[in-house]
Amino acid sequence: AQTVTQSQPEMSVQEAETVTLSCTYDTSENNYYLFWYKQPPSRQMILVIRQEAYKQQNATENRFSVNFQKAAKSFSLKISDSQLGDTAMYFCAYASINTGTASKLTFGTGTRLQVTL
């Protein structure tokens, strides 16, 4: 079974600064997807960024980028120019490509990010 580990329960960053959230995962599969989801306080979870394991190029979405290290099974999220609206729980998630149950996500325990003035 796949596992996802987020070792930083809480982090804080000042507005306009850069912060990196860590995620490691364990799998025996070669093809899979990795995701970062954001859950703002009292609001629904939304997808931040998606990475296919077969792509060596790191995914980027505006101020959000990832550092995907497949051999190390590491998948960190970098948020540049942090904004107050980035305050949220951030969940790293894994989905297998090879099984018949596409899109069943395995989530980490989350990192609570607080952006301060």
Residues that bind another protein (CB under 8 A): 4, 33, 35, 42-47, 50, 91, 93, 95, 97, 100-110
Tell me the backbone φ, ψ of residue 38, rounded to 5 degrees: -115, 135
Pairing of β 111-116 and β 60-61: unpaired
Q: Which residue has the tokens 């990010």?
A: 113
Measured from the CB of residue 79, what is the shortest distance to another protein in angstroms? 19
Tell me the backbone φ, ψ of residue 29, rounded to 5 degrees: -85, 160
Which CB atom, from 87 or from 106, has the smaller least distance to another protein? 106
Which CB atom, from 35 or from 68, has the smaller least distance to another protein? 35
Measured from the CB of residue 15, what is the shortest distance to another protein in angstroms? 26
Measured from the CB of residue 70, what is the shortest distance to another protein in angstroms? 17
Q: Which residue has the tokens 């003035």?
A: 117
Which CB atom, from 86 or from 110, has the smaller least distance to another protein? 110
Tell me the backbone φ, ψ of residue 35, rounded to 5 degrees: -140, 155
